[in-house]
Amino acid sequence: MADKLDVKQGTLALMILKTLEGLGPLHGYGIARRIEETSRNRLALNYGTLYPALLKLEQEGFIKAEWRQSENNRRAKFYALTANGRKQLARETREWHETADLIAAFLAPKREAP
């Protein structure tokens, strides 16, 4: 576990929204597994971080929750993206692309000034 990365501040909400967009309603465990799988198991996802993030997204109206039966017949809270969540996902995606482009400019090899 020491060689796994921590989830960077501000990225977990984006990962959750993108996961729900792609796979539809999932319970917390399913969301966590999918995020870890998508990262090729490079991320260490702490459930003490995941569930507060889910609650915050729900309170902000970006996801909704519903109690249902899981695939192993247990009651589980399933989370789904809302219309506002889709808008937020588009906004966050755009902002992360802009941020990545900005950081890439600083990490690019320096050019000599003419």
For domain 5-105, which CATH number applies: 3.10.20.30, 1.10.10.10, 1.20.1440.230, 3.90.230.10? 1.10.10.10
Instruction: For residues 87-111, give the mean pLDDT.
Output: 92
Domain boundaries, the chain: 5-105
Over the stretch 14-64, which tens digit does the pLDDT of each residue have?
999 999 999 999 999 999 999 999 999 998 788 888 999 999 999 999 999
Q: What is the mean pLDDT of residues 80-86?
A: 98
Q: pLDDT tens across 6-24, in order?
A: 777 679 999 999 999 999 9
> Is the pLDDT reported for residue 95 higher than 50?
yes
pLDDT band at residue 113 using 50, 70 and 90 as cut-offs: low
Q: Are 96 and 87 in contact, with CB atoms under 8 Å apart?
A: no
